[in-house]
Structure 1
Amino acid sequence: MRLNSVLLPLLTFTVLAMQLLDPSKIWQALIAAFGGLWLMTGLWAWSLKAHLRLTREVRFTWAQVGDALEEQFTLVNDGPVPATWVEIVDHSTLPGYSAARAIGVDNSSTTTWHTNAVCKRRGVYELGGTTLRSGDPFGIYSVEIFLPEKTTLVVMPPVIPLPTVEIMPGGWMGDGRPRPNIMDQTVNAATVREFAHGDSPRLIHWPTTARRGKFYARQLDGAPASDWWIALDVDANVQAGEGWENTVELGVILAASLADRGLRARHPQEVGLLASGTQTVWLKPQSGERHRLEILRSLAMLEPGQLPLAEMLDRAGPTLGNRISLIVITASIKPDWIPALTHLLWKGISPTVLLMDPSSFGTPQNADALAVVLAELGIPRFILNRSLLQQPEAHPGKGQWEWRITPSGKAIPTRPPSDLTWKRLG
């Protein structure tokens, strides 16, 4: 509670002094007017300070890029005087979002309103705190109330379709050919064929045999459903682009999309994540929805670091194991990390490289020369560019909602979240 001007107290004390020096009804009237106004505004401001309360509530504390954020505000004034004006100052850090507004509330009254925004950028942000500013109608006193209640909002990266990217299955280079008699129980059946002499009885596919009246055997694809390790290079020295259209954001979206694809596949893989950010991310391969959200949360918080890709691959090599699929996502067009990748290839790790073309982000270099080097080594490689950040088929963000994506790329909500209750900040 702050006195905005000393003029009124000064006038009050001045006329009081004049009354003491030269008593008069005029000075008495002025003392009553100025002193009464001073007392009234002081009590008014004190009432607002004691009786104004604001409650902020939010439905969800995490979302995906494209999700809608909705907050509910409840302003209560249970005092005897109205708040003719209340300025609400929002200290939230979510880009493009502010709940600030000016509003009034009568005495012994409550007013409620909602604010909406679209989560446009991945990251970890704070919703709240809040400052209330008000005062008496004459502007003599002002009141400022700080409400520290806040909560953390995690905005996860979007997931986009990547139909042209095929991941090399785990195993030695050249593995993956259909083999008629392999007995590995961890492989997946690719198709069925007529039973041939020498086939193991364990390969008989009984449903097809019963349906067609003769023996059919499963033809297995010859390579186990291997773990995926996604290695995302966010070395700040090799990135291109400006603002939020840069290779870091593209790499994060690619990693999120591949993790989502692997964990939601018909024969899901266990997916792990490596990233060389300000803090190294190492999430060992697992499956399940909880692990998918953990990967997305780690990607949401990822910031560029100083660890080169070659050093990250060297450090990670002993922890990766053998016969796994390694997906390298990088904007580095220098071949200095190729020896580290080749060393992993000799261990039986099957690499797939996703090159983010820096030329599409306005730099003179391109990824073609490095793609030729990878082709000579027989390593699958895909060149991806800035257009993926702008494609209309990108998912709008799933968050707590369930969506169905049509063949044209349109997202249709199929099921709302089960818990739509408001949760107070704090």
Structure 2
Amino acid sequence: MRANRIFVYLLFLGSLIGVLLTRASIYMRLFYLACLIIGGSWLWVRLSIAGLKLTRLSRSLRANVGDSYKENFEISNMNPWLCPWVEIRDETDLPTSAGSRLLVGIKKRNKHSYLAHTWLTQRGAFSLGPTTLITRDPFGLFNMIKTFPSESELVILPFIANVDFFPTSPGLLPGGKVVRQKALGITPHAAGIREYAPGDALRRIHWPTSARKQRLMVKEFDQDPQSEIWIFLDAEAEVQASLVDEDLAFRWDGWMLGNRPDFKIPPSSFEYGVAIAASLAHYFISQRRAVGLVAAGQINIAIPADQSFRQEEKILETLAYVKGEGNLSIDGLVAAQAGQLLQGSSVVIITPSVRPEVMHAVDDLLRRNLHPTVVLLDAGSFGSPDSNDAFVESLNNINVPVCHITCGADLGSGLSGVSKNYPYQETNRWFTPSTP
């Protein structure tokens, strides 16, 4: 292409100089030929880019970290001539995007499509676009650019590990007495009937009563007797620690060669905390337990406990956006929310902090008849100088289950290993570590 461009420009300059100096007919013909090539090339590329259309299609706009996201790119050439060359530049902010391509020889009134596989390594929301098309004329003299704006957004949910077991309170009362508090969803415990209100689900309508009263009536339900699970995620910026992910470039090279690498969570205590919160929410909701989430990142977050699969989607989408930039400590977060939790609920505290105030928060939960479990991220393994040995010993002394997670550990086995690290004995209301 560069040689063609230089040749045409030399032909134009040489013929122009010859016409000005000698006015010979040969120079005039060469000058007209050069002008025809330049003008025709400009017109070619101008009309070609106008007839190119781009369509981006994907099956879903939700995916999890560690997945391979598939997106179909379709280029349509609506021109009555061949498009010799077109470059597709995917200018999305999605890391490791693989949508850019170089296509050659798209026939007239024809389509060319390809499937882009992007390895998702970062949670959050990312726009699928904009996308830029760049085409040239056959001589390579001119470039024309056409940009298609982004029309959709991909939400990448946190990584979910496979958890086999995690300790929780078995219920509020051994006899299984229902909680006389109205539930947002449908439970096995019907409480009564009331008049339909906008927003009520159609499946809650009680048709026999509606037919008798000649207006829509819906069923109300009491909460399930099982205890609620509350996940407290420490998002305070001051206690977080992280390392440089030096292995990412190597794994990315293997992915480009067609070998899908095993996903590793970025070596950040907060990213580990988010993955743990997402994994536990998925585990408990699959066990039909009511789960709530509390965190204080960019904003204060408090998602009421519920046990529907919509609740899982809500929690995961919230965790996709949260950042470890908060100013509120985990003990302050517990103090602000503990008074609003039902007695007998289980509280999972996810934190890398070993401050004495965390023990005060655990004591406060115990006094309120709440059952805490601490998932302690080893800050030292993430590059922090803090040691958590004394903190773990303090939790053991008051029989509070603690799960110790280090950087690089497998979250599934690490969270499920709580039962292995602590021999549990069943009491009347809670599983506690048995004292030696």
Same fold (TM > 0.5): yes
Deviation at 1:328, TM superposition (A): 0.8
TM alignment of 1:173-322, pairs within 5 A: 182=175, 184-185=177-178, 224-242=225-243, 243=245, 244-265=266-287, 268-305=288-325, 306-322=327-343
**Aligned partner of residue 56 in structure 1, secondary structure:** strand
Q: Which runs of 5+ in 2 are unaligned?
A: 181-223, 246-265, 416-436
Mark the CA change 1:248 to 1:183 in structure 2 (over 3 Å): closer, same or farther. closer
Mark the CA change 1:21 to 1:361 in structure 2 (over 3 Å): closer, same or farther. closer
Q: Which moved more, 1:231-240 or 1:105-114?
A: 105-114
Note the alpha carbon deviations across 1:88-117, whole angstroms, 9 max, x for none: 111122222221111121333221211113
Q: Which moved more, 1:19-28 or 1:352-361?
A: 19-28
Name the structure 2 match of 1:55: 55
**Aligned partner of residue 99 in structure 1, secondary structure:** coil
**Aligned partner of residue 347 in structure 2, secondary structure:** strand
**Aligned partner of residue 317 in structure 1, secondary structure:** helix
Name the structure 2 match of 1:416: none
Deviation at 1:374, TM superposition (A): 2.2
Contact 2:45/2:144 (8 A) holds in 1: yes
How far apart in 2 are the matches of 1:38 and 1:111?
A: 28
Contact 1:170/1:349 (8 A) holds in 2: no
Note the alpha carbon deviations across 1:192-248, whole angstroms, 9 max, x for none: xxxxxxxxxxxxxxxxxxxxxxxxxxxxxxx94111110010212112332412221
How far apart in 2 are the matches of 1:9 and 1:228?
A: 74
Aligned residue identity for 1:184: K
Of 389, 392, 399, which residue of structure 2 is paired with 1:368?
389
How many residues are aligned here? 346
How far apart in 2 are the matches of 1:18 and 1:386?
A: 74
Question: Do structure 1's residue 355 and structure 2's residue 376 form an aligned pair?
Answer: yes
RMSD of aligned C-alpha atoms?
Answer: 3.1
**Greater length-normalized contact order (CA 8 Å, ≥ 6 residues apart):** 1
Q: Which moved more, 1:226-235 or 1:19-28?
A: 19-28
Contact 2:163/2:412 (8 A) holds in 1: no
TM alignment of 1:86-101, pairs within 5 A: 86-101=86-101
How far apart in 2 are the matches of 1:24 and 1:387?
A: 79
Deviation at 1:344, TM superposition (A): 3.4
How far apart in 2 are the matches of 1:67 and 1:284?
A: 29
Name the structure 1 match of 2:418: none
Question: Do structure 1's residue 333 and structure 2's residue 334 form an aligned pair?
Answer: no
**Aligned partner of residue 71 in structure 2, secondary structure:** strand
Note the alpha carbon deviations across 1:107-160, whole angstroms, 9 max, x for none: 332212111133233222222111111111212211011111342111212222
Note the alpha carbon deviations across 1:355-405, whole angstroms, 9 max, x for none: 1122333444332211222233343322222343476999xxxxxxxxxxx
**Aligned partner of residue 152 in structure 2, secondary structure:** strand
Deviation at 1:288, TM superposition (A): 0.8
How far apart in 2 are the matches of 1:392 and 1:129?
A: 41
Contact 1:91/1:130 (8 A) holds in 2: yes
Q: Which runs of 5+ in 1 are unaligned?
A: 188-222, 395-426
How far apart in 1 are the matches of 2:169 and 2:411?
A: 27
**Aligned partner of residue 150 in structure 2, secondary structure:** strand
**Aligned partner of residue 149 in structure 2, secondary structure:** strand
How far apart in 2 are the matches of 1:247 and 1:283?
A: 22
TM-score, normalised by the number of residues in structure 1 = 0.73
How far apart in 2 are the matches of 1:331 and 1:393?
A: 15
Name the structure 2 match of 1:406: none
How far apart in 1 are the matches of 2:51 and 2:414?
A: 50
TM-score, normalised by the number of residues in structure 2 = 0.71
Q: Which moved more, 1:4-13 or 1:27-36?
A: 4-13
Name the structure 1 match of 2:83: 83
Q: Which moved more, 1:238-247 or 1:21-30?
A: 21-30
Contact 2:161/2:411 (8 A) holds in 1: no
